[in-house]
């Protein structure tokens, strides 16, 4: 068993609400168990540039309610190269770090796995932090719940003005490869249609559904488009519909990075705390190259390799069916 004494923690890739509660849990769980903790600024970039600092229990005071990440985050191309990893390893060893907690998505985990294989004396534990909810091994990822609630709040407000003006709104939400936010927000807000990367929706079918809705005296309609939808993006979809439907005043709204910000929900605060706590305890138990995740309300470990390579993560079939049934 690899006995550890000093943990470094970093956040990498896109920020997600819930990262700060997770950082807090990592720091305080480590200190409680007699370990030292180092915070790494700006993800893997901080490892290469030696931008790290010792953390105490007070370093993470009053951050549960903060969105983003107090450690900052950045994408780091040099870390993909052996030279960058060598430099990062050198800086970690100079500081006496023998374990690393990485909070992020698939890009973050890919880097962590490569680094751990190259330098197995540094134990590595991953925490799924991405609003896309697209990693295998965890039913929910950090930030997904908050982002979805943010989208729901925005769509509810757009619905008000859509009703007032008899408008058809096309709203783009984040989700390049995953329609998880679009699907849940669309059902929660009564969207007339939801376009997802996982399910091809023909423009002809969309137009037909919208025309039927208009004939059923709908005064407004909302169409949610995940940014990874195969029809070319929200503006292309809106233009194609505009050619066939003249009854609606059509508007387009892209919610963009609004979805990443904001105070984390209760769910994400608790999830972040549970995952951070579990990550440190797993490292103490001698685990490495694993991800902590939530499955059936239990925290379980999944290998980083499986989390990255298992592409069987699918949207719930009943939710997909529900969209058609409830939107009439």
Strand partners, 4: none
Exposed / middle / buried, residue 70 (Cβ in 10 Å: 0-12, 13-18, 19+): middle
DSSP 3-state of 134:
coil
Q: Is 132 a catalytic residue?
A: yes
Catalytic residue among 15, 98, 132, 134: 132
Contact predicate 92/116, CB 8 Å? no
Core vs surface per residue 159-194: b (16+ CB within 10 A) or e: beebeeeebbbbbbbbbeebbbbbbbbbbebebbbb
Angle at 221 between CA 220 and CA 223, to 5 degrees: 160
Core vs surface per residue 25-61: b (16+ CB within 10 A) or e: bbbbbbbeeebbbbbbbbbbbbbbbebbeebeeebbe
**What tokens appear for 164 in the block?**
């007032």
Core vs surface per residue 83-96: b (16+ CB within 10 A) or e: ebbebbbebbeeee
**φ, ψ for residue 134, nearest 5 deg:** -125, 25
> How far is residue 177's CA from residue 106's CA, in Å, rounded to a whole number?
12
Q: Which residues are catalytic?
A: 132
């Amino acid at each position: 068993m690899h006995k550890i004494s000093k943990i470094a923690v970093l956040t990498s890739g896109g920020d997600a609400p819930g990262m700060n509660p997770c950082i807090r849990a990592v720091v305080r769980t480590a200190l409680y168990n007699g370990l030292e903790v180092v915070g790494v600024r700006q993800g893997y970039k901080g490892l290469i540039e030696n931008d790290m600092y010792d953390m105490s229990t007070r370093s993470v005071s009053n951050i549960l309610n903060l969105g983003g990440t107090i450690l900052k985050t950045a994408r780091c191309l040099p870390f993909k190269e052996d030279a960058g990893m060598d430099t990062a390893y050198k800086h970690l060893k100079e500081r006496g770090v023998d374990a690393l907690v990485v909070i992020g998505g698939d890009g973050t985990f890919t880097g962590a796995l490569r680094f751990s294989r190259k330098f197995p004396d540094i134990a590595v534990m991953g925490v799924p932090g991405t609003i896309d909810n697209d990693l295998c091994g965890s039913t929910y990822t950090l930030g997904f719940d908050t982002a979805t609630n943010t989208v729901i709040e925005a769509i509810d407000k757009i619905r008000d003005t859509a009703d007032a003006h008899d408008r058809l709104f096309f709203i783009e939400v984040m989700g390049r490869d995953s329609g998880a936010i679009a699907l849940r927000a669309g059902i929660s807000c009564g969207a007339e249609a939801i376009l997802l990367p996982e399910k091809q929706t023909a423009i002809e079918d969309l137009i037909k559904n919208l025309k039927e809705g208009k004939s059923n005296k709908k005064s407004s309609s909302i169409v949610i488009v995940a940014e990874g939808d195969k029809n070319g993006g929200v503006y292309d979809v809106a233009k194609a519909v505009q050619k066939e439907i003249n009854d609606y005043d059509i508007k387009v709204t892209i919610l963009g990075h609004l979805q990443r910000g904001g105070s984390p929900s209760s769910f994400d605060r608790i999830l972040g705390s549970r995952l951070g706590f579990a990550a440190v305890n797993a490292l103490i138990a001698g685990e490495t190259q694993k991800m902590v995740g939530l499955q059936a309300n239990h925290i379980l470990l999944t290998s980083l390799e499986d989390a990255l390579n298992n592409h069987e993560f699918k949207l719930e079939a009943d939710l997909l069916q529900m969209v058609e049934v409830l939107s009439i």
